Amino acid sequence: MPEILDGNRVRDEIKSELRPRIASLTAQKRAPGLAVVLVGNNPASEIYVRNKIKTCEELGICSQTLRPPQSASTEEVLAAVHELNARDEIDGILVQLPLPPQVDAKRVLLAIDPAKDVDGLHPYNVGCLVAGLPGPRACTPAGIIELLKRYRLPIAGKRAAVVGRSDIVGKPAAFLLLHEHATVTICHSKTPDLPAVCREADILVAALGKPAMITGEFIRPGAVVIDVGTTRIEDRGQAVRVLHNIPEKMAAFEKRGFVLMGDVHPVDVVSKASAYTPVPGGVGPLTIAMLMVNTVASAEHRCGLC
């Protein structure tokens, strides 16, 4: 049986390591401060922000949420960001995506002070990533590297394939793997013979947002498979097609009326991989954990403690 890479366990390790750092900051200067800008009432964003606030409370990080209305203009959202940039007690600013269509997301993200960009998405911080310079890293890709390292899975010298080229996951994940001395291929919808390319990988990162698309033909026997995707499946026919051999997941679907599914086929990965991340409970818990890491690091830097 392949090894299951438990993101909840690694998340808890990271939180335990952060607590003394936060206590030291609070005793010497002040508690770290994280502000989230949540525009409108996207249900998925509401859940994510609520989990961020809960984690801040657990760790002793001061959190604040600014809630411009769904009808907010670009200028109104920019005003909220500029206010947070100017506040000394705020170490991290996160603008929750997606933004309503009338808001220019690029202008908003560019407006964040790079020193407070705890999402690691500002072009300045992306440039630091590419150049291998210190700076906040995108949270989900950073979590992937933490997971691999804490399970002592070798990266250096391995072939890695990243399926998906988003600015949030795919591209930064590829650079982080490259900095760990993997040979990296970035795959996408225009990649010829995608299954064959993926089968060359010792480490396969699936981040394309298409449930159960990565089947056995994509997976090299013995590969480490990192599933970034999380899609809520409510269609019973689709659930049955993928989960008919996993009775406990079908039972959960029947009870709740939905199931969370990753980009990797949950049956095929068990038969081919040497280690893999489950959905849920794999990569997901590490995204917020790494957000906390970035926030604490920003506070230490801004308070002159590092």
Q: Is residue 306 part of a domain?
A: no
- CATH number for the domain harbouring residue 92: 3.40.50.10860
User: What is the reported pTM?
Assistant: 0.94
> How far is the C-alpha of 46 from the C-alpha of 225, rounded, in Å?
29
Cα gap 118→121, rounded to integer Å: 8
Indicate which residues carry an active-site annotation.
Answer: 52, 96, 119
Q: What is the pLDDT of residue 166?
A: 94
- Domain co-membership, 181 together with 144: yes
- The dihedrals phi and psi of 245, each to the nearest 5 degrees, come to -95, 5
Same domain, 229 and 99: no
pLDDT tens, residue by residue, 256-277: 998 999 999 999 999 999 999 9
Task: Read off the tokens for 78.
Answer: 């920019």
Q: How far apart are the first and last CA of the chain?
A: 43
Tokens representing residue 128 in the block = 């630091």
Domain boundary pick from 59, 84, 116: 116
The answer to whether the CB of 249 falls within 8 A of the CB of 270 is no
- Structural domain harbouring 218: 139-284
Would you state the pLDDT for residue 111? 97
Split into its structural domains, the chain has a count of: 2
Q: Which of 70, 39, 64 is nearest to 52 (CA)?
A: 64
Per residue in 52-69, pLDDT tens? 999 999 999 999 999 999
- Whether the CB-CB separation of 52 and 291 falls below 8 Å is answered with yes
Q: Kindly report the CATH number assigned to the domain that includes residue 150.
A: 3.40.50.720
Closest CA relative to residue 240, chosen from 220, 217, 267: 267
Please check the confidence at residue 244 and state whether its pLDDT lies above 90. no
Separation between Cα atoms, residue 103 and residue 168, nearest integer Å: 19
Same domain for 170 and 104: no
Asked if residue 196 and residue 80 are part of one domain, the reply reads no
Residues 74 and 165 grouped into a single domain: no
* Percentage of the chain modeled with pLDDT above 70: 100
pLDDT confidence band for 46 (50 / 70 / 90)? confident
Q: Taking residues 151-179, report their average pLDDT.
A: 97
Res 215: pLDDT: 96
Same domain, 146 and 205: yes
Please state the three-class secondary structure of the chain as a single string: CCEECCHHHHHHHHHHHHHHHHHHHHHHCCCCEEEEECCCCCHHHHHHHHHHHHHHHHHCCEEEEECCCCCCCHHHHHHHHHHHHCCCCCCEEEECCCCCCCCCHHHHHHHCCHHHECCCCCHHHHHHHHHCCCCCCCHHHHHHHHHHHHCCCCCCCCEEEEECCCCCCHHHHHHHHHHCCCEEEEECCCCCCHHHHHHCCCEEEECCCCCCCECHHHCCCCCEEEECCCEEECCHHHHHHHHCCCHHHHHHHHHHCCEEECCECCCHHHHHCCEECCCCCCCHHHHHHHHHHHHHHHHHHHCCCC
